[in-house]
Amino acid sequence: MKLFPLFLLFALPLAPLQAEEKKEGQPALQALIAKTPEEKAKAQSLAASYPLKVCFVSDDKLDDPVDTLYGGRLLRFCCKGCVRSFNKNPSKYLPKLDALEKSSS
């Protein structure tokens, strides 16, 4: 008769809790690159009124911007790396974006 390792009895119930903690730590909302025709059309319609000419993450020019949608809001980045940086910590960049939008209006 093989014995079931006892430590597994204690470790298995903790696995779902650890997975839930990781989910809660992630931001609920992320900037998603406009890929589908519908998303691209929405980004294009919002782009006409987008006030910034520079990336609000890196301060680089928006020569060939990466358009993303963030909760129905258009966010433009200079590159995909800046999209990743934003998605890691949106609360770091949103106040800067809001201030830049106010000053350019």
Please write the tens of the pLDDT for every residue from 44-93.
999 999 999 999 999 999 999 999 999 999 999 999 999 999 999 999 99
**Which amino acid would we find at residue 39?**
E
CA trace torsion 45, 49, 51, 55 (10° rounding):
0
Specify the pTM: 0.71
- Check: CB of residue 29 under 8 Å from CB of residue 90: yes
Token representation of residue 71: 């909760």
- Taking only the tens place, the pLDDT of each residue in 9-30 is 454 444 444 333 345 555 479 9
Rounded CA separation 95/102 (Å): 11
Q: Is the pLDDT of residue 103 over 80?
A: yes
Q: What confidence score (pLDDT) does residue 102 get?
A: 86
